[in-house]
Amino acid sequence: DVKVTQSSRYLVKRTGEKVFLECVQDMDHENMFWYRQDPGLGLRLIYFSYDVKMKEKGDIPEGYSVSREKKERFSLILESASTNQTSMYLCASSLGTGAQETQYFGPGTRLLVL
């Protein structure tokens, strides 16, 4: 079974702090994704990566950056956390790109910014 793990289930940070969210997948997948999930808005793509050291902006990249130094690990960084970044963050991975590709999701990190 594909396993996608996220470093924390719950996180509380203060405004202005630098926040790191870590995601690891164990199936040698090429692609990794970061989404945020908000009530009534579904999932929105923040950043994705097709390969090590490569990254592409998603639909809402403002206020975020990412790092992919190793194939299995994809980090989301909030350079200076703000209260409007309070949300559920979901990481996903997929083997390749294409119309039939399934994305596998981690359990999510619920971030509260005070």
Partner 1 sequence: GNSVTQMEGPVTLSEEAFLTINCTYTATGYPSLFWYVQYPGEGLQLLLKATKADDKGSNKGFEATYRKETTSFHLEKGSVQVSDSAVYFCALILLSNDYKLSFGAGTTVTVRA
What residue ranges bind partner 1 (CB under 8 A)?
4, 40-45, 48, 56, 58, 90, 92, 97-108
Q: How far is the CB of 16 from partner 1 (least distance, A)?
A: 29
Write the CA distances from 71 to 7, 14, 113, integer angstroms.
Answer: 16, 30, 29
* CA 113 and chain centroid, separation: 17
Nearer to partner 1, 84 or 102 (CB): 102
Nearer to partner 1, 26 or 79 (CB): 26
Q: How far apart are CA 57 and CA 104, in angstroms?
A: 19
Q: How far is the CB of 19 from partner 1 (least distance, A)?
A: 19
**Cα angle value 67/5/48 (rounded, 5°):** 35
- Residue pair 6/74 in contact by the 8 Å Cβ criterion: no
- Residue pair 66/34 in contact by the 8 Å Cβ criterion: yes
Nearer to partner 1, 79 or 111 (CB): 111
Q: How far is the CB of 80 from partner 1 (least distance, A)?
A: 27
Nearer to partner 1, 18 or 23 (CB): 23
Q: How far is the CB of 25 from partner 1 (least distance, A)?
A: 12
